[in-house]
Structure 1
């Protein structure tokens, strides 16, 4: 059930006024301009819907949820779907966050239910009917207004009106994300002055800096509305194609997954390059083969948890440069039942229920999903992929930005606050590679490596860098995997709350 939105009010400037002497041509030009603006609002404002009830959730939602589509592109051929949660604390003053889920092509609904959003799917008491929703205690929406965006086109419930519009790449998709944010703020003027942050994790390590850069450039060019951007937030970010892949071997060694002898042999024989290997370097190839045998059955997204057939299963070897890692595999995620208690040994098991919930007709009607625009909701759209090792793979998306290190360097000369956090048990995008490129920025250290605490316990380690109007906070999240808030929600909630309040972690 949703609350209907009224038609846009008739602008005062269109009312008849007793004003003397205006040339007909000027009046006609003004009227045309005003009608154009009115039509602009009509195009996307009418797709905004306040959701008060959701199937699977008992009673009225205790916070504001709005969903909608915004048309982008010259003919609005790209229709991006979003979920907006107003802050549960102080929406008039709390930060506004545009959250971009990774993939590319993975639905923001996963971020809402499994990471930083206010819902989670109730798994243990599922009886085969429509899955139930529960509230999360440590949702980031308690301290921030968050827009979760299904992007790029084809992700989640976003769609295109022409076949050609489905084709995209990093740079074009992020230009559309910036256009989306402009249109969203025009239709939500009450949030224009809120502190703005661009955020995301995983592959959004590419998209977030690009969108943030577009915002800064737009402000510098005077493009309206001027946005009150303060910085950006990144979790376990993909930053550099070579750097991320090459960091796997030394990080695996630090984690105790490789022996000193094997690691040192590979380091010498491969000359520290474990990705671009000379095919005639037999000693290096032999070492890498042994390393792959050691890591083949490791869950690289969280090395302490079992490796299961799931949506995160990768078909490439662990040293592959291919960042197209998510593949929907219709498998039973549940493993054996340990009597008398059901034991879930696969973290992604609830995704079966999320798939059921998101594809339920009553759910889609409640969310106001446009009929006929999607055959089926998918956690990740596998056609939005690009592979350096499989150039012939069918794809509608090209990962044309291989490194965003230069963007991070540019931000060091702006009025910008940055939070970078890494789950320290993620082997897919290791924290060591993140720490390496942060050090390469050559920004002075304001606070050196130290522990940070939650409930009197060490939650991770942190450093702060900065000069002038630039500040970067880096934090590890102890015991967390690839999507840190999923593994350590209380710690990550404390981290983001303190950082928004400009307090020390």
Structure 2
């Protein structure tokens, strides 16, 4: 059972939930069709719906979602639930920085709402995608009572299952569509567990019947020590650490030592390893460390800008206008830094026009942050997701596991190792897969319908760095075509 952690009232006031607003915030699920967005010229050329689904009636916890109908035709297109890692990172990252239909125009922030443009490699070109801010407390999701924020891997997964049941009940036209569950990074722990719970519901005849066909995970965490230990041979293989250091670590560090060293020689060697690894960018080892944002690794991800708690907005008088500004804005990277889009996301998501367009409930959130820095309670009670991968694929469901080959946070070496450990025979041996006549990565498929693929040049997470290759991989796989 997940331990109960009570938050101080100052946390709820800091995110905008006054005592009166805690009572007044509407409990019922709600939705709206969004036809325009701040920063985008004209009407949206895709169907966007946003809304809330209540997943904890006792505490009034509601998850916020963005639903984008497939541009290929929602009647027959596959349906994908998409989750962002974290554990408390907003799914706006997936929507606007990875696989969604719009993205930020990378230009210097000038104090107005950032501009948007269409993403030519949006996965919504071939699939309906339901993006969900999860768990409660991520993005625009909220709870009216403090206890509603006290969740973990298992309870958050069950809430997402409940969200799907309620969402499809309200949108029965999509029940027949092939359903897939997807996510990246820390969500790699959550996705196969949700898939198993859905499959159990299917077997039990739960209504409505969810037409589950499989799942996909990118740069996925498992909860196993391999998420950490695989980074050492990866760093050695790409020339970040020396032969001598690699051998020292291998000789003195074993099992959980990679997270919690139990002897002095292991601890000293790992300190040297971490110091050398800090010279490159963990999420993409070929790119410069250009500042502004970082991640903690395969566990909790965060931005440097997240701070110890949620920052608040202030109103400043600018002539006759009252302008809402971030009191402590995130540090600004240089314009050529890959993280500049993350920087812009803070100003877009915290613009009142954006809140109004998306239908964010008044009083539920004072300031949006991309990722929390451990200031919201969360219990990592799925110690390992590997058994769920085995269970779900053994029952005939399809699976795609993919890794950026320049990711030092959750290296492909560890992912390959646990995929192989499932013990299923190979049906399509290791080979290159291609885009425009060139290798785009390498892939292997097993008899349990699990495909593992690397994306050449990609990091953590893969679509941020190689959107065209990732779109080709996803569209082929989701449409049952050979990679």
TM over 0.5: yes
Out of 225, 229, 233, the position equivalent to 1:250 is 233
What pairs up with 1:364-375 in 2 under 5 angstroms? 364-375=355-366
What is the distance in 2 between the residues matched to 1:49 and 1:272? 49
For structure 2, which runs of at least 5 residues remain unmatched after alignment? 1-25, 306-328
Which is worse superposed, 355-364 or 286-295? 286-295
What pairs up with 1:223-242 in 2 under 5 angstroms? 223-242=206-225
What pairs up with 1:108-127 in 2 under 5 angstroms? 108-124=91-107, 126-127=109-110
What pairs up with 1:36-75 in 2 under 5 angstroms? 44=28, 47-75=30-58
Asked if residue 80 in structure 1 is aligned to residue 79 in structure 2, the reply is no
What is the distance in 2 between the residues matched to 1:271 and 1:157? 41
What is the distance in 1 between the residues matched to 2:92 and 2:76? 25
Specify the alignment match of 2:77 in structure 1.
94
Which is worse superposed, 493-502 or 123-132? 123-132
What is the distance in 1 between the residues matched to 2:158 and 2:211? 18
For structure 1, which runs of at least 5 residues remain unmatched after alignment? 1-41, 336-342, 386-393
Q: 1:43 to 1:186 in 2, by over 3 A?
A: farther
RMSD of aligned residue pairs (Cα, Å):
1.9
Specify the alignment match of 1:404 in structure 2.
385
What pairs up with 1:104-183 in 2 under 5 angstroms? 104-124=87-107, 126-183=109-166
Q: 1:454 to 1:265 in 2, by over 3 A?
A: same
What is the distance in 1 between the residues matched to 2:167 and 2:291? 38
Task: Say which SS state the counterpart of residue 412 (structure 1) adopts.
Answer: helix
Q: 1:283 to 1:158 in 2, by over 3 A?
A: closer
Shift of 1:148: 0.2
Specify the alignment match of 2:403 in structure 1.
422
What pairs up with 1:347-496 in 2 under 5 angstroms? 347-382=338-373, 385=374, 395-466=376-447, 470-496=448-474
Alpha-carbon contact 2:79-2:177 (below 8 Å) kept: yes
Alpha-carbon contact 2:228-2:259 (below 8 Å) kept: no
Task: Say which SS state the counterpart of residue 53 (structure 2) adopts.
Answer: strand
Shift of 1:110: 1.0
TM-score, structure 1 as length reference: 0.83
Larger radius of gyration: 1
Q: How many residues align?
A: 435
Specify the alignment match of 2:315 in structure 1.
none
Task: Say which SS state the counterpart of residue 449 (structure 2) adopts.
Answer: strand
What is the distance in 2 between the residues matched to 1:168 and 1:129? 36
What is the distance in 2 between the residues matched to 1:74 and 1:126? 41
TM-score, structure 2 as length reference: 0.86
What is the distance in 1 between the residues matched to 2:261 and 2:472? 46
What pairs up with 1:217-228 in 2 under 5 angstroms? 217-228=200-211
Alpha-carbon contact 2:59-2:148 (below 8 Å) kept: no
Q: 1:439 to 1:190 in 2, by over 3 A?
A: same
Identify the structure with bigger relative contact order (alpha carbons < 8 Å, sequence gap 6+): 2
What is the distance in 2 between the residues matched to 1:213 and 1:271? 31
Q: 1:188 to 1:331 in 2, by over 3 A?
A: closer
What's the CA shift string for 1:34-80, capped at 9, x where partnerless? xxxxxxxx9756x1111111111110110100000111224361111
